[in-house]
Amino acid sequence: MQDFDTQEHDSEVSEDGEGVSERGKSLMRYLLKRFILILSFGPGVLGFLWLVGKIVRK
Amino acid sequence: MKSVISRLLTEDPLATFARRNASYVERYQGKEDPFGYSLSTFALWEPLFRFLFEDYFKVEIKGIENIPGDGAAILVGNHSGLLPLDGAMISMAMTSQHPKPRRVRYLATDWFFTLPGLCDWVRETGQVRASRANALKLIEMEELIGIYPEGTRGVGKPFRERYRLLDFHPGFVQLAIETGTPLIPVSTLGGDEIYPEFVNLKKLARFIGMPFYPLTLTFPWLPFPLYLIPLPVCWKIHIHKPIKLDYPKEAANDRKLVHKLAREVQYQIQHEVNEMLASRQSLFSSGEKIQEVAPNQDH
């Protein structure tokens, strides 16, 4: 009985872990999408590189 | 110059537009539109598109008289140029060169209506979300409808495929047969060259939810709004004679017939585009090919 409880507990933990990693992945995808959209329609690749250059030189 | 700028900034755009185009304003002022058209928004943006039409692209229009001043009609054309400037140029022709100016209601892709900010602008300048119900409603309202049956595939074409029309979606033929509305084919030359697209990154487009992701001379390299500046190519637009499809309403369900008629319209437009291309002297000048004249033998 004790073993059974432990196994059940373990599986819950792994499901939670998967859920967190899934959420993390979808958040990363969302952020990447936003980054590409903002980069493309905002400063553009050259504008972005210029900004990075400015920051690095400082 | 200073007075022009100060006038633009201080004067009511609608009043300025009304002075230039009184009959257009009279026609639409104070009329409610179920699709959200706003005359003041149109009047605000009209000077920019008129500049593009008259001075930047120097659009040559042929056959404007083929578009009726009243009643429903469907304009069908070849689509090109990443941004739908071809539609805007035809709208400008209808506003400034037609004897009875009227608006063109383009059926626009769903994607435009998902973009916050832009969706209101698209609606207020006269475009309508593309759907059968909306098209039927527009015909009932006796509006002039604009359809680009190539859809976003047409505007996202790479430069090497310019002026090669893609297969027309036959929905416009079904609509014309069902409602007995005349079709008016429109051939446009110039749109395919304003934003030369080298590659369409389809996977990236799918990832970020865009219909296409082009790599052009300016996009995505230059910052906003520099990537929006098109090449000053001279345009030619030829509006063909209206086609009345005299078929019974049931023929709209005949897939074979509908596809055949759609192909015929497509080939008619393609043929005219080819002829205009052959007669074009240069990309950036509006002149036709000059016939070689034999030297005068008298001297």
pLDDT tens-digit series, residues B84-139:
999 999 999 999 999 999 999 999 999 889 888 889 999 999 999 999 999 999 99
**Cβ distance of B221 and A44 shorter than 8 Å:** yes
Q: Are B245 and B173 a contacting pair, CB within 8 Å?
A: yes
> Is omega for the bond preceding B220 within 30 degrees of 0, making it cis?
yes
Is B169 inside a domain boundary?
Answer: yes
Is B185 inside a domain boundary?
Answer: yes
Q: Domain total for chain B?
A: 1
Of residues B2 and B101, more confidence is placed in B101
**H or E element, residue B36:** none
Of residues B294 and B176, more confidence is placed in B176
Total CB pairs under 8 A between chain A and B? 32
Task: Name chain B contacts of A41, Cβ cutoff 8 Å.
Answer: 220, 224
Choose from B83, B118, B208, B229 for mutation: most chain A CBs within 10 A: B208
Domain parsing of chain A, residue ranges: 2-57
Counting Cβ atoms within 10 Å, is residue B126 exposed (0-12), middle (13-18) or buried (19+)?
A: buried
Q: pLDDT for B152-195, tens place per residue?
A: 888 888 999 999 999 999 999 999 999 999 999 999 999 999 99
From A33, A36, A43, residue closest to B223, measured CB to CB: A43
| pLDDT given at position B282 | 84
ipTM over 0.95: no
Q: How many CB atoms lie within 10 A of CB B24?
A: 23
Q: Does B141 touch chain A (CB under 8 A)?
A: no
Q: Does B223 touch chain A (CB under 8 A)?
A: yes
**Cβ distance of B220 and A47 shorter than 8 Å:** no
Name the average pLDDT for chain A: 81
State pTM to two decimals: 0.86
Q: Looking at chain B from residue 193 to 212, which residues have their Cβ under 8 Å from any Cβ of chain A?
A: 204, 207-209
Name the average pLDDT for chain B: 91
From B209, B213, B221, residue closest to A46, measured CB to CB: B221
Q: Does A54 touch chain B (CB under 8 A)?
A: no
Query: Which pair of tokens denotes residue A10?
Result: 């373990």
Is B225 inside a domain boundary?
Answer: no
Q: Are B220 and A44 a contacting pair, CB within 8 Å?
A: yes
Is B109 inside a domain boundary?
Answer: yes
Confidence grade of residue B3 (pLDDT, cut at 50, 70, 90): low
Of residues B90 and B284, more confidence is placed in B90
- Distance from the Cα of A42 to chain B's closest Cα (Å) equals 5
**Cβ distance of A33 and B204 shorter than 8 Å:** no
**What is the domain-level CATH number for residue B92?**
3.40.1130.10
Question: How many angstroms from the chain centroid is the CA of residue B89?
Answer: 6
**H or E element, residue B198:** strand B197-200
- Distance from the Cα of B213 to chain A's closest Cα (Å) equals 10
**Cβ distance of B224 and A42 shorter than 8 Å:** yes
Confidence grade of residue B1 (pLDDT, cut at 50, 70, 90): low
From B208, B221, B223, residue closest to A42, measured CB to CB: B223
The whole-angstrom separation of Cα B33 and Cα B27 is 12
The Cα-based distances of B30 to B25, B27, B73, B121, B140 in angstroms read 9, 9, 23, 19, 20
The whole-angstrom separation of Cα A41 and Cα B118 is 13
**H or E element, residue B13:** helix B13-20
**Cβ distance of B219 and A40 shorter than 8 Å:** yes
For residue B270, the enclosing domain spans 57-195+230-283
